[in-house]
Amino acid sequence: MSHNKLKVGTGEPNRTSDIIVNVGNISDVTLTTPTNGQFLTYDGSGWENSSPTAITPGIIFAGEGATQNYSGSGASGVTTSDDILFYASSPTNTIANTTITSASSWISSITLPAGTFRILAVAGLELTASSGLIEYRWHDGTALVGCTGNAGYTDDRVGNPTVAVVAPTGNTTYTVRITTSTSVVAVASQTARHAERGYIIIEEVKT
């Protein structure tokens, strides 16, 4: 009968002229042992079944509460425009193509690849007076980025972080830079407060 000449892909009508079409009946779809959770992707000439690729954002964590005096960090200073170093003997780093620059386990900078990242740091340098203050922000080698973090005289005032969301288009080096310093203990007299309380967290953001 003439109605039986009608097809949808390779799907043909039955005796009552009903056509049941499966995805695999479509001419430009190739299915190979499909499983639950797969989807169709286009390969340039047709559609095929494939499994999703798990995307696990990377993370960097540096800070272990170590009792290491900042006086031994090799930091150049603790005044405005100086960079703060962070102690981590075994930093966690699962962000590909990232470079953590350090000496004697004191991290001076982190170079991130192209991507989008949330970067956070907390510093705990010591001050000489209750009126003292140290403020700091992330620096990308050209400009300050993100909000201002600060630390005060007492330990309960350590913990206000500098935070930024950055999207470098290529390898970019980030440091934590002091923007304001009043009554800060000199590097040579700094003890373990910063190593005990300071840390860096960098999270890779997948979009």
Prediction pTM value = 0.76
Q: Which helix (H) or strand (E) holds 195?
A: helix 193-197
**Average confidence (pLDDT) over 11-28:** 69
Band (pLDDT 50/70/90 cuts) for residue 40 is confident
Q: Residues 99, 76: contact at Cβ < 8 Å?
A: no
Domain that holds residue 191: 59-205
Q: Are residues 156 and 196 in the same domain?
A: yes
Q: Are residues 124 and 153 in the same domain?
A: yes
Q: Residues 112, 96: contact at Cβ < 8 Å?
A: no
The residue that leads in pLDDT, 15 or 129, is 129
- What long-range pairs does 144-147 form, CB within 8 A, spacing at least 24? 144/177, 144/179, 146/119
Q: Are residues 92 and 150 in the same domain?
A: yes
Q: What is the CATH number of the domain that holds 63?
A: 2.60.120.40
Q: Are residues 177 and 119 in the same domain?
A: yes
pLDDT digits (tens, 9 = 90+) for 124-143: 999 999 889 999 999 999 99
Give the CA distances from residue 13 to residues 92, 137, 138, in Å, rounded to whole numbers and listed in that order.
61, 70, 67
Joined together, the tokens standing for residue 155 give: 């330990």
Say what percent of the chain tops pLDDT 70: 87
| Beta bridge pairs of residue 60 | 93, 202
Cα dihedral sign, 128-134-140-142: negative
Q: What is the pLDDT of residue 203?
A: 97
Joined together, the tokens standing for residue 84 give: 């703060």
Band (pLDDT 50/70/90 cuts) for residue 1 is very low
Q: Residue-wise over 8-27: b if at least 16 C-beta within 10 A, else e?
A: eeeeebeeeeeeeeeeebbe
Boundary residue ending a domain (18, 34, 54):
54
| Beta bridge pairs of residue 48 | 30, 41
pLDDT digits (tens, 9 = 90+) for 85-112: 999 999 999 999 999 999 999 999 999 9
Domain total in the chain: 2
Q: Is 18 helix (H, G, I), strand (E, B) or coil?
A: coil
